[in-house]
Chain A
Amino acid sequence: MKKVFALLLSLTLCVGLLSACGGSKTETPASSGESGSSTATGSVYYLNFKPEQDEAWQNLAKAYTEETGVPVTVVTAASGTYEQTLMSEIAKSNPPTLFQVNGPVGLANWKDYCYDLTGSDVLGQLTSEDFALKDGDATLGIAYVIESYGIITNKTLLAKAGYSVDDIKSFADLKKVAEDITARKDELGFAAFSSTGMDGSSDWRFKTHLANLPIYFEYQADGIGTTDAIKGTYLDNYKAIFDLYINNSTCDPAVLSGKTGDDSRNEFLAGEAVFFQNGSWEYGNLVGDGKFTDDDLQMIPIYIGVGDEANQGLCTGTENYWCVNNSASAENIQATLDFMNWCVTSETGTKAMANDMGFVIPFKGAQESPNLFVKQDATYTAEGKTPVSWNFPTMPSENWKNEVGNALTAYAAGTGTWDAVVSAFVDGWASEYAAANG
C-alpha cells in the first residue's frame, strides 16, 4: 500500500514539475482561464499610478468588461512605489499593457517599452498636440489629466481670523497672515497650516510640488525648459516658504517625519488649519457629506516671493502620461488602445473621469468637471494670471526627489541643516543627471 502511495506521489510530483515547465498547471484554473481568453480578444492590464483613484478605476474597468467582455485588470501601486512596481511587473510574462510615465525624464527610461501611438484613435481625441509626449517623430505618451495645485484655503476659518483671500496677494501677505494666526493660535483654536507631513505618503507635496516653484522661476529667469545642472537661484525663497509651513503648523516640526497625507487632510477637514497645500485631485476628499461645501474653499497660488506675484496663477500642468507597452501582444495592444479610447470618448468613461476621479482631461469628449479647484484655475487664467507650469517632470530622477525629501525631513526635525537640502538639490541634480544620462 505504502509503495503504491509513494510511487503515485513521486509520479504526481514529476508530472507536476514537467507540466509546470510546459506552462499549464491544472491547479490554477484562474491563470489558465485568463490566458485562454487573452489570446482570443486581448486583455488590458493597467498599472495605475494614483492611489486616490484606485476605486474609481476598478469600477470603470468593471463597467468596461461588462460592456465589451474584454477583461481589464487594474493594479494600483502603493504610494511612492510606482517605479518599483513597474520595474518588477514589466519583466513578467503578463506585463502591464498600459502604464504611465511622468514626462520626458520618465520617458527616457521607458521609451524602449512605449508603443508608437501615431495614428491611433485616442491620439486624435487630444484637444492639443501639446499634450502628446514625443520622442523624435514618434508619439510615445499622451497626457490624460490636467491638474492644478496651490494652497487650499478654508475661507470660513480665514474670515474668523479676520482676513479674506483677497488679503493674500504675495508671499509677504501670506507670511503676515500665517504668523498672525500662529500668534493667536490658542485664542482662535486653529493653526495656519495643516501638518507638513514628511511621511512617504505625503512628502511629495514638498519635495516635488513645492520644489517646482524655485525650479520654475529659475527656468524662467534663464529662459530654459530643462537643465543638466540646477543653480538653485531661488532656494532661499524655497527655504522661506518651507519654514513658514513648518513653523506655523498644527504640530511641532520634530514630529513631522511621521505625519502622513491622511493626517494632514484630516486636520484640514477637522478645521484645525486654514491652509493645506495640495491639488485639484483632493477635491473629492474635501467636499461632500459632513465635509466642506464649495463656498468654504478656495485654492490660492503658492507665493514664494519671486517674480510678478500679482499675476501669478496656480501651478497647472500634468505629470501623468499614458504609455502603451509595446512588448505586449498585438491583441493586447489593440485591446488597450480601445480601452483608452473608450475612457475618453464614451459617456461612461468621460463621466467617471470627470465626476468620480475629478479629472480635467485634455480630450475632445471631456465632460465639464464639477471640480471647484479646476474652475478656479480657469478663473485665474481668465483674469490674465499666468499659470505656473509643472517642471518636476524635468527633475533628473526619483532618487533626486527622495534625497531632497530626506534632507527636508531632517531639516524640519532639526537633525539636519538647510545646507544639506541645498546640496541634495544642487549637487544631487548634477550627479543624478549624470547617472541617468551617462
Chain B
Amino acid sequence: MEKKRTLKDSILTVVLGILSLAWIYPIFMILFNSLKKETSISTGTAFQIPNSGSFAGLENYINALTSKGFLSAFWYSLVITISSVVLILICCSMCAWFITRVKSWYSKALYYMFVFSMVVPFQMLMFTLSSTADRLHLSSPYTICIIYLGFGAGLAVFMFCGFMKSIPLEIEEAAMIDGCTPLQTFFRVVLPILKPTLISVGILETMWLWNDYLLPYLVLDRTKGYMTIPILIQYFRGSFGKVEMGPMMASIMMNIIPIIIVYLLCQKHIIKGVAAGAVKG
C-alpha cells in the first residue's frame, strides 16, 4: 500500500514538473526572442532559440529604453500604482471602519453602493469617466489616483468591511474610554490589527493598477505624452506603419521582470492575499 502510493506520487511529480515547464515556456520564449535581432523575429521562427546569426545581445532593450520613452512610461506606471494603492488603502480602510461602526441607513446605503460599483463593468463609464477626469484636471499621472480611488473603492471597501466585522468591538471601546479620539483609535488600534488585510488588499490593487490598460489610455492626457507600460506596448504594435517586435518583446520582459521579482520576494503574502480576497470577494 505504502509503496504503491509513493510510486503514484512520483509519477504525479513528473507530470506536474512537465506541466510547469510548459507553463513557464511562454515567458522564456519572449525572453529569448527579446535577445534576437529584429529581422530574425517573425511568426514562423518564434520558437527558435537565438543562434550566432540572430543573437542581438541587449540591443532591443537599449532600443526600447531609449526610443519611445520607456523610462518615462515606467516612471508614470510606478507613480500611478504607488500613489493610488496608498490612497486606496488609507481612505478605504477609514471609510470601511466608519461604515461598519456607524449603524444607520446611510452607512448601509453607502455600503451597498460600493458593492454595486464592484460589479459594474468599466465600459459603462469609460466615456463619462474620462471626460469627468478631463474636466477636473485629473488626467495627469500625479492626479489620476483620485480617479482610481473613486473607481476602485468598491472592492477595497467591501473587503475591509468584511474583515472589520471580525474585529472585536471591546478593544476599540477600551481605547475610546481611555480618551482616544476616533482617529487615534483607528490609527493606533484598528490599523495594526488590520495589517494582514491591508497587505491582501494592497496586493490585489497593485496587480490591477500595474496592468490596467483602458482606464489610463482613455484618461491620461495624450497631448502631454503620458503613457503607462501597457499603453506603450500596445503602441509598439500599431503605430507608424510598423510592428517593432524587438523593442516590444524587450518592453514585455521589462514589464514582467519587476512583477516576478516582487512575486518571488513576497510570494507568501500574495498567495495568502489572493486566497483571503477570493473567499471574501
Verify whether A and B have any Cβ pair under 8 Å.
Answer: yes
Binds B, one of A118-126, A258-266, A349-357: A258-266
Give the size range of A's interface with the partner. 35 or more
> Which residues from 1 to 50 on chain A have a C-beta closer than 8 Å to any C-beta of chain B?
2-3, 6-7, 9-10, 13, 16-17, 20-21, 23-25, 27-28, 30-31, 45
1/0 per residue B134-146: CB within 8 Å of A?
A: 1111101011001
Task: A92 to B136: give the CA distance in the assembly, Å.
Answer: 11
Question: What is the total number of residues of chain B having a CB less than 8 Å from a CB of chain A?
Answer: 36
- What residues on B are CB-neighbors of A13 within 8 Å? 87, 91
Q: Are the CB atoms of A52 and B241 closer together than 8 Å?
A: yes
* Residues 249-297 of A contacting B (Cβ, < 8 Å): 255, 258, 260-262
Find out whether the CB atom of A54 lies under 8 angstroms from the CB atom of B240.
yes
Q: Does A80 have its Cβ within 8 Å of any Cβ on chain B?
A: yes
A16 touches B241 (CB 8 A): no
Bound-state CA distance A13–B145 (Å) is 11
Asked if A221 lies at the interface with its beta carbon under 8 angstroms from chain B, I say no
Which one of B4-12, B49-57, B102-110, B221-229 is at the interface? B221-229
A17: which B residues are within 8 A, CB to CB? 146
CB-based contact A93/B240 at 8 Å: no
A200 touches B184 (CB 8 A): no
The answer to whether the Cβ of B112 comes within 8 Å of any Cβ in the partner chain is: no
- The reply to whether A6 and B239 contact each other, CB–CB distance below 8 Å, is no
Residues of B close to A28: CB separation below 8 A: 137, 140, 142-143
Q: Are B188 and A93 in contact (CB under 8 A)?
A: no
B218 interfacial contact with A, CB 8 Å: yes
Q: Is the CB of B239 within 8 A of A79?
A: yes
B147 and chain A: residue at smallest CB distance: A20
Closest Cβ neighbor of B226 among chain A residues: A30
* Partner among A27, A81, A91 whose Cβ is within 8 Å of the Cβ of B238: A81
* A83 touches B (CB below 8 Å): no
Interface residue from B44, B135, B187, B243 paired with A260 (Cβ < 8 Å): B243
Task: Say yes or no: B143 contacts A20, CB within 8 Å.
Answer: yes
Asked if B183 and A7 make an inter-chain contact with CB atoms under 8 angstroms apart, the answer reads: yes
Whether A200 lies near B238 (C-beta < 8 A) is yes
Q: Closest residue to A285 on the B side, CB-wise?
A: B241
**For residues 237 through 272 of chain B, which have their beta carbon under 8 Å from a beta carbon of chain A?**
238-243
Which are the 3 A-B pairs with shortest beta-carbon distances? A78-B239, A261-B241, A201-B241
A-B contacts, 20 of them at CB < 8 A, read: A3-B187, A9-B90, A20-B136, A21-B136, A23-B136, A24-B137, A27-B140, A28-B143, A31-B140, A51-B239, A51-B241, A78-B238, A79-B238, A80-B238, A85-B222, A91-B130, A91-B131, A94-B223, A258-B43, A260-B241
Contacts A2-B184, A6-B186, A31-B140 given; 5 further ones with Cβ under 8 A? A6-B183, A10-B94, A27-B142, A91-B130, A201-B238
